[in-house]
Amino acid sequence: MVSPLSKSKLAPSNPSRPTLPVFSRLLSTLVLWSVVLSSLWFFGADAAIWLLTLLTALTLHEFYALTEKLGHRPFRWFGLSISVLMTAAPFYLTQYYTEAEEFAGLAPALLALAFVVCSVRVLGARDNTNRVETIAATMLGLLYVPFMLHYFARLILLYDTPEAGLVPCLWVIVVAKFCDVGALLTGLAIGKHKMAPRISPKKTWEGAGGGVLTSIGLGVAIAHYFPDYLPELFTPAVAALVALVIAITAIVSDLIESAIKRRADTKDTGALIPGIGGAFDLTDSLIFTAPVAYVIFLFLR
């Protein structure tokens, strides 16, 4: 006869995962996509830039909160102001000038200006021990978040009209974000082998494979059914290859965010979106994806 104590020892060490958080995450994903698509339908490229600017600023705000947990004191409001300019200014300046390429160097220029301003500001700081850390935290946030994400605005401006650039931009975001969804569902179903247990214990190689396949499937389907809205060179075969690169980049980008959160001993960067977390938890897989996608579409347009 097995004692109650023995039964408890024989019980599985990993109880079944609750389905409620998964349902909440999927529901939030559907709601978010409904909001995004509705906004794009009614307001076009302007809505894309507004959403990008808002999410970028919120992500940077949460990134600075993580650095403060590590004992740093970045110039938060200054960084957020530069973030808004870096994301939205290139798009709206092109509404008054004919050549969008004239503003290709605006983001790097703003980054350099921010470095100068931060360096001057810390000269008057009373605490001599954290001047370098303050500059480093402020500038890392600007480089890692708005500078990377502003490439979505640059991607929209690659084409003759902002509306023409919307679909390639949306294609990239769909491929990157649904890699997360595919990885989540596949990992829950068959995930066994941990991919990065010290960084993100729930991620598995099986889940990553499912996410990549989901991205490729969606990317090819969009290229097949909507060829008139994408570059002429963007055939389903090319879409499959590009989706593979985007999906892998999205996974790496997601892991980097997880490493930052783990260093700050934080599970979610906020509670903005039920089942997902904060804005940083929403944009994590897009940060490295944006510049990679911009370079790819630069050669495919």
What is the secondary structure of the chain as a DSSP string?
Answer: ---HHHHHHHS-SSPPPPSHHHHHHHHHHHHHHHHHHHHHHHHTHHHHHHHHHHHHHHHHHHHHHHHHHTT----HHHHHHHHHHHHHHHHHHTTTSS-GGGGTTHHHHHHHHHHHHHHHHHHT-S-TTSHHHHHHHHHHHHIIIIIHHTHHHHHHTTSSSHHHHHHHHHHHHHHHHHHHHHHHHHHHHH--SEEETTTEEEEEHHHHHHHHHHHHHHHHHHHHH-GGGS-TT--HHHHHHHHHHHHHHHHHHHHHHHHHHHHTT-S-S-SSBTTTBSHHHHHGGGTTHHHHHHHHHHHH-
pLDDT tens across 125-172, in order? 656 668 888 999 999 999 999 999 999 999 998 888 888 899 999 999
Torsion over CA: 38, 41, 45, 47 (sign): negative
What is the per-residue pLDDT for 14?
42
pTM: 0.87
pLDDT tens across 120-132, in order? 988 876 566 688 8
What is the per-residue pLDDT for 172?
97
Residue 27 pairs in a beta bridge with none
What is the per-residue pLDDT for 67?
93
What is the per-residue pLDDT for 34?
87
- Torsion angle, alpha carbons of 248, 249, 254, 258, to 10: 100
pLDDT tens across 27-73, in order? 877 888 888 889 888 888 999 999 999 999 999 999 999 999 988 88
Question: Parallel, antiparallel, or unpaired for β 200-204 and 194-196?
Answer: antiparallel
Q: Comparing 178 with 101, which gets the higher pLDDT? A: 178
**Percent share of the chain, pLDDT over 70:** 87
What is the per-residue pLDDT for 21?
67
What is the per-residue pLDDT for 270?
67
**Percent share of the chain, pLDDT over 90:** 54
Q: Comparing 242 with 6, which gets the higher pLDDT? A: 242
Distance CA 148, CA 86 (A): 10
